[in-house]
């Protein structure tokens, strides 16, 4: 069996330990500088305080200062940080690993070059000092960490530029409940799944709109949600083409959008904005939590603005994303541009 080290003890990274352990691998979880409390607790009794699950007893745990020990003789490194930890992962972890060690990142996000060109996280990391020559791969597709940890059937895509490496990684992690497709279309898969965070906020506006009329906790109304979902997939499809991804990757984005609308911080922020709160008021309600939906919206809209200035795109093709951007930059409260969705 292999040695799999997961760096980042967040919910998704830690959930990946379940199929790894079920396949008989030696699994090591290293906390990031922000995960000290999580690691302290799992070292005691294996209980993960944010995933709220008991992890397999065979897993070994390390604080960030012990990362060197955790990486010894490792066969696969899983990057378990969120998009807010990408810089740390790319600067503090990746430059010190062997070039032969494949990396699989659970991070969903996009970065933009100065001209607005969108690039996937693996390619962004590959350009960092000391990271050239690494095999950088990523996970995409609809997956709720709690359900993976509970061994519910889950279908995802692993993407990377070396199919042989992807096959090896799949063989390490594939189980009878964790079903893995492979793709060398890194920008396609990553664009599709990164955008689900922004558009899940957009779909969740409908929940808040219903509550503003009928009261908090009222029965949900689905026509508006469906209309926003349809517009979301339309705009995601357009972004895929702009980024240079294959059109079929929209399936992963739509699937990921579906699961994200049903829960979590993105649904909460969208619901609060849908009730008519300003972005600052909504953040106060959520006690200042970090929101990947906000980060990806800003990255992509500001990239599209640069591309539009160069005559490459028409930003009016993204009315829902523009409205989300206007809300999170405090230019407006909710006013869904329904007429702009007509074609």
- Taking CA atoms, 118 is separated from 113, 128, 189, in Å, by 6, 16, 13
Sequence-distant (6+) residues with CB within 8 A of 187 are 118, 119, 120, 123, 243, 244, 245
H or E element at residue 147: helix 145-149
111-115: average pLDDT: 95
Q: Which DSSP symbol is given to 89?
A: I
Length of the chain: 343
Every domain range in the chain assigned CATH 3.40.50.720: 3-184
pLDDT greater than 90 at residue 229: yes
3-state secondary structure of 103: strand
Encode pLDDT of 194-207 as tens digits. Answer: 999 999 999 999 99
Q: Provide CATH 1.10.1040.10 ranges for the chain.
A: 194-341
List the 154-159 sheet strands across, edge first. 60-62, 26-30, 3-7, 76-79, 103-105, 136-140, 154-159, 178-183
CA-CA distance, 71 to 30, in Å (whole number)? 9
pLDDT at 317 over 90: yes
- The owner of tokens 């909504």 is 282
CA neighbours within 13 Å on the CB side: how many for 301?
Answer: 21
Compute and round to an integer the Cα radius of gyration of the chain. 20
**Residue 4 and residue 27: Cα distance in Å, rounded?**
5
pLDDT > 70 fraction of the chain, expressed in percent and rounded: 100
Measured CA to CA, the distance from residue 248 to residue 234 in angstroms comes to 13
pTM of the model: 0.94
What Cα–Cα distance (Å) separates residue 104 from each residue in 211, 249, 281? 40, 19, 37
CA 195 to chain centre: 9
Mean pLDDT for 84-95 is 96
Question: Could you tell me the pLDDT band of residue 288, with boundaries at 50, 70 and 90?
Answer: low
CA distance 290 to 295: 9
| CATH code assigned to 3-184 | 3.40.50.720
- For residue 192, pLDDT over 90 is answered with yes
| pLDDT value of residue 83 | 87
CB atoms within 10 A of CB 90: 23
Predicted local confidence at residue 287, as pLDDT: 82
What confidence score (pLDDT) does residue 307 get? 97
Is the domain covering 194-341 a CATH 1.10.1040.10 domain?
yes
Q: Average of pLDDT values for 85-93?
A: 96
Tokens of 250: 């929209």
For the cut 90, the answer to whether the pLDDT of residue 289 exceeds it is: no
Mean pLDDT of the chain: 96
Tens digits of per-residue pLDDT, 132-189?
999 999 999 999 999 999 999 999 999 999 999 999 999 999 999 999 999 999 999 9
User: Which of these, 89, 68, 91, lies nearest to 80 by C-alpha position?
Assistant: 89
């Amino acid at each position: 069996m292999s040695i799999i080290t997961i760096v980042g003890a967040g919910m998704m990274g830690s959930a990946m330990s379940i199929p790894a352990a079920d396949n008989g691998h030696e699994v090591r979880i290293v906390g990031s500088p922000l995960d000290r409390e999580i690691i302290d607790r799992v070292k005691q009794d294996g209980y993960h305080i944010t995933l709220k699950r008991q992890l397999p007893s065979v897993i070994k745990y390390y604080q960030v200062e012990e990362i060197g020990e955790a990486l010894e003789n490792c066969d696969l490194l899983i990057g378990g940080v969120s998009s807010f930890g990408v810089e740390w992962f790319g600067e503090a972890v990746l430059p010190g690993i062997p070039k032969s060690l494949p990396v699989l990142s659970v991070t969903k996000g996009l970065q933009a070059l100065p001209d607005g060109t969108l690039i996937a996280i693996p390619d962004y990391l590959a350009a960092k000092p000391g990271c050239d020559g690494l095999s950088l791969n990523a996970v995409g597709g609809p997956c709720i960490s709690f359900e993976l940890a509970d061994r519910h059937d889950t279908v995802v895509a692993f993407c990377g530029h070396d199919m042989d490496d992807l096959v090896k990684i799949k063989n390490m992690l594939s189980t009878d409940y964790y079903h893995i497709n492979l793709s060398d279309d890194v920008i396609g898969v990553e664009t599709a799944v990164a955008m689900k965070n922004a558009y899940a906020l957009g779909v969740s506006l409908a929940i808040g709109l219903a509550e503003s009329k009928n009261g908090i906790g009222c029965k949900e109304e689905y026509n508006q949600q469906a209309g926003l979902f349809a517009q979301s997939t339309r705009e995601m499809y357009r972004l895929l083409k702009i980024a240079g991804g294959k059109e079929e990757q929209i399936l992963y984005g739509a699937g990921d959008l579906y699961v994200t609308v049903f829960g979590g911080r993105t649904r909460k922020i969208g619901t609060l904005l849908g009730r008519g709160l300003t972005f600052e008021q909504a953040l106060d309600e959520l006690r200042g939590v970090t929101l990947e939906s906000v980060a990806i919206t800003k990255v992509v809209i500001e990239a599209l603005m640069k591309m539009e200035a160069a005559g490459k795109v028409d930003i009016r093709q993204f009315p829902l994303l523009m409205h989300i951007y206007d809300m999170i930059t405090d230019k407006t409260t909710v006013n869904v541009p329904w007429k702009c969705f007509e074609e």
